[in-house]
Structure 1
Amino acid sequence: MIALIRPAAARAAPNILAAQKSLVRGLQSRPYFARTMSSITIHPSLTTVSTSNAPAAIGPYSQAIKAGNLLFCSGCIPLDPASGDIAKGIEAQATQALKNLAAVVQAGGSEMGKVVKCTVFLKDMNDFGVVNVIYEKAFGSHKPARSAVEVARLPKDVLVEVEAIASLE
């Protein structure tokens, strides 16, 4: 007589499936898996910044947040705050994005000369030279730390976006 022996994995499968079902039932009954809106509110040590001189946030974020002695500015795209139009061409887009950044920095109680770090997101790194000239004009002799990276896509399919961290001191 030949005995058929099932592999260990096959013998364990029913037990694993039962354990998985039990785990899922347990997780579904926990309150943090309920489908409700978050009750998280801004911490009292933080202050949101908003200005009509720059485009309003397009999603669930702030134009900037003050935290201690620093101002953290969200990425600014080249959207005209008055008309909602997107500037045409890399020169116009870089200029508008930096104007928007300057407006947020100022609304946050700082100034472009106090920006300590910028990140420039480019749709095409071939535009770096053109953006660099406009960036230099926006900052004058001040040279904050900076990163510039090429990305696959930016909001509203713009060509450039700029974010910054500025000192409030």
Structure 2
Amino acid sequence: MKSIIYTKNAPEPIGPYSQAVKTGNLLFVSGQIPADPATGEIVSGGIEAETTMVMKNLQAILTEAGAGFEHVIKTTIFLKNMGDFAAVNAIYGSYFTADFPARETVQAAALPKNVNVEISVIADLS
């Protein structure tokens, strides 16, 4: 059985998908882009501002599901430019304190709304 997770504190989906889906003890959070949930606009200020907004969006969805970054077991980071890896990694890493999740980081030719970063997560809620 699956449950749809939704919060107004994260951006509205821009297609036919949910912000997150919970099934059993697993939470699958759709890729988040640096859209401000209040305006729907992409934040400006470069890769650091974009990554911070993405992480805040993920945090809002995790919170709605009763979880936090300590529950995350897997992440996928999509970058428009692998040259941004160090900057993204520094901000991303500040949201995790121990028992880091598994992860891959891939460069994508293009991302939704021409953003520089998108991140999805899977969390274990048990």
What's the TM-score bracket when you normalise by the shorter of the two chains? over 0.9
Matches within 5 A, 1:7-156: 45-88=1-44, 89-156=46-113
Deviations 1:123-157 (A, max 9, x none): 00000000000001122334111110000000000
* Structure 2 unaligned regions, length at least 5: none
3-state DSSP of counterpart to 2:109: coil
3-state SS of the aligned residue for 2:36?
coil
Max radius of gyration: which structure? 1
Aligned residue identity for 1:120: I
Q: CA RMSD in A?
A: 0.9
Output the TM-score relative to the length of structure 2: 0.96
Structure number with the higher strand fraction is 2
- Partner Cα distance (1:155, 1:87) in 2: 14
In the TM superposition, what whole-angstrom CA distance separates every residue of 1:1-54 from its partner, at most 9, and x where no partner exists? xxxxxxxxxxxxxxxxxxxxxxxxxxxxxxxxxxxxxxxxxxxx1000000000
Q: Given residue 26 of structure 2, which amino acid in structure 1 is its aligned partner?
A: L
Task: Detail structure 1 runs of 4+ shifted over 4 Å in the superposition.
Answer: none
Structure 2 Cα separation of the partners of residues 138 and 83 of structure 1: 24
SS in 2 for 1:90: helix
**Alignment partners' CA distance in 1, 2:69 and 2:12:** 20
Per chain length, whose mean CA-contact separation is higher, i.e. which structure has more relative contact order (CA < 8 Å, sep 6+)? Answer: 2
Unaligned stretches of 5+ in structure 1?
1-44
Partners of 1:147 and 1:110 in 2: CA distance: 22
Answer 1 or 2: which has greater helix percent. 1
